[in-house]
């Protein structure tokens, strides 16, 4: 991000001017405190090296045995895909699709897209066709890659099976653990500004908005353009001249969509916690387990740290997200001026924590894959897993559909939808800290 460039805060819509950043420094919105930009030294080289490493680890993690289950001389070997296939075979295809997408497809696509984007930048070739679209899709996929959450699910599953049989790690598991850290490091090393600045722009797009002229910011590449300079597609929609994403001053029908998703998630929350998420058959006896009984199992076996994690992620976090989103929705509809900065922080936390609720879905997936010995020992996914998976996805989508800029609209004098062009130009706050 070049010094002096304009930026619109994606959380409060304040138009600001970016200061020069020191190496490893960052800048924050002068109004809501949202981190706008970070300087990541040598970003392209570091991220590309980590991406290539990640692709190698991804291939290993999907090609070799992941975990083995040994009971009374019988051994079951699994790969990452085993649980997905078994869930589909048990009639839980919707859960299987979510697990496949979040634990395998989304991380793999992130790595492939990063390679396609960064390789031409590193080796000086022509930008590939659709280059901005490729990077836009990478950013869209980041929240849906949940390998770190899957790892917590593995730990919980191993604890649950320690009294039943021996669990043996495979080569794939070690590659999977390494891949979690490599992908996280690649995302941390990546400087999106270094990528977007390589996309050529027309001169009329690069010019700053004139005083009083309406400006609009892109939610994806954060380009600020005069409203008149935006591209228009065949359907009459304004599109970003850089990343081609559809431009909106506010997310369309944000309140209506968020309310619909929140209400749907709230309706499913009760059956998700009351119905069994799985049934365990051991030596001909079958026992059904709910999410809460799984927490009690961990406590009974002295694994209170894991019990706290599962209770927090699977019971407390979904409820907290629902209540937080309802509070934000009501406060916006009432035009509340109460603590907008704190409400924006609440939204930020709400959006970040939702993915961790997938722990129990992954536990069911892993156990279904491992324990497949008929009447001797088997585990089957039940209806509670479907309801709970739906709650997690719906709450994540609800947080994504909510527009935090609506919190700040009540503070503006006018309500004609062009608040971003009327706020005074301010410098962002800069932190000269190590990144």
pLDDT tens digits for 207-262?
A: 777 777 788 888 888 888 888 788 888 888 888 888 888 888 889 999 999 999 99
In this predicted structure, what is the pLDDT of residue 284?
67
* Cα–chain center distance at 110: 12
In this predicted structure, what is the pLDDT of residue 187?
93
Burial class of residue 285 (count of CB atoms within 10 Å of its CB; 0-12, 13-18, 19+): exposed
Phi-psi region of 42 (alpha: psi -120 to 50; beta: other; left: phi over 0): left
In this predicted structure, what is the pLDDT of residue 208?
74
In this predicted structure, what is the pLDDT of residue 217?
86
pLDDT tens digits for 305-329?
A: 878 888 988 899 999 999 999 999 9
Q: How far is CA 137 from CA 242, 247, 310, 420, in A?
A: 14, 16, 31, 26
In this predicted structure, what is the pLDDT of residue 140?
92
pLDDT tens digits for 139-160?
A: 999 999 999 999 999 988 888 8
pTM of the model: 0.89
In this predicted structure, what is the pLDDT of residue 429?
55
Cα–Cα nearest to 169, from 243, 64, 309:
64
In this predicted structure, what is the pLDDT of residue 430?
53
CA distance 142 to 12: 22
In this predicted structure, what is the pLDDT of residue 3?
47
Low-confidence ranges of the chain (pLDDT < 70): 1-4, 283-284, 373-376, 413-435
């Amino acid at each position: 991000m070049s010094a002096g460039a304009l930026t619109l805060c994606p959380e409060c819509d304040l138009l600001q001017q970016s200061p020069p950043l020191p190496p490893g420094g960052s800048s924050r919105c002068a109004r809501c405190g949202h981190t706008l930009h970070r300087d990541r030294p040598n970003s392209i080289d570091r991220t590309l090296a980590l991406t290539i490493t990640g692709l190698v680890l991804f291939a290993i993690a999907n090609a070799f045995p992941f975990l083995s289950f040994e009971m009374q001389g019988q051994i079951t070997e699994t790969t990452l895909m085993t649980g997905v296939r078994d869930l589909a075979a048990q009639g839980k295809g919707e859960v299987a699709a979510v697990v496949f997408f979040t634990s395998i497809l989304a991380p793999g696509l992130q790595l492939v897209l990063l390679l396609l984007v960064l390789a031409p930048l590193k080796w000086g070739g022509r930008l590939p066709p659709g280059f901005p679209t490729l990077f836009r899709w990478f950013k869209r996929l980041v929240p849906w890659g949940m390998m770190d959450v899957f790892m917590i699910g593995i730990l919980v599953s191993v604890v649950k099976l320690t009294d039943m049989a021996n669990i043996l790690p495979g080569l794939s598991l070690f590659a999977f653990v390494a891949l979690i850290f490599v992908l996280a490091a690649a995302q941390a090393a990546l400087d999106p500004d270094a990528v977007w600045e390589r996309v050529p722009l027309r001169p009329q797009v690069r010019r700053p908005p004139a005083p009083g002229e309406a400006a609009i910011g892109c939610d994806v590449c954060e380009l600020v353009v005069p409203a008149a300079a935006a591209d228009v597609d065949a359907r009459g929609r304004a599109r970003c001249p850089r990343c081609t994403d559809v431009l909106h001053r506010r997310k369309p029908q944000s309140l209506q969509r968020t309310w619909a998703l929140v209400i749907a998630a709230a309706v499913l929350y009760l059956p998700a916690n009351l119905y069994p998420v799985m049934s365990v058959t051991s030596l001909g006896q079958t026992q059904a387990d709910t999410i809460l009984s799984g927490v009690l199992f961990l406590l009974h076996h002295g694994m209170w740290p894991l019990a706290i994690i599962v209770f927090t992620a699977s019971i407390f976090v979904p409820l907290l997200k629902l209540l937080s989103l309802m509070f934000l929705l009501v406060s916006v509809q009432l035009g509340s001026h109460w603590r907008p900065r704190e409400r924006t922080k609440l939204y930020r936390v709400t959006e970040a924590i939702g993915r961790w609720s997938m722990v129990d879905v992954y536990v069911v997936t892993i156990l279904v894959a491992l324990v497949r010995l008929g009447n001797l020992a088997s585990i089957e996914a039940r209806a509670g897993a479907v309801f709970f998976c739906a709650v997690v996805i719906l709450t994540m989508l609800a947080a994504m559909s909510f527009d935090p800029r609506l919190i700040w609209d009540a503070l503006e004098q006018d309500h004609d939808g062009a608040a971003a062009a009327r706020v005074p130009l301010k410098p962002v706050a800069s932190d000269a800290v190590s990144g």
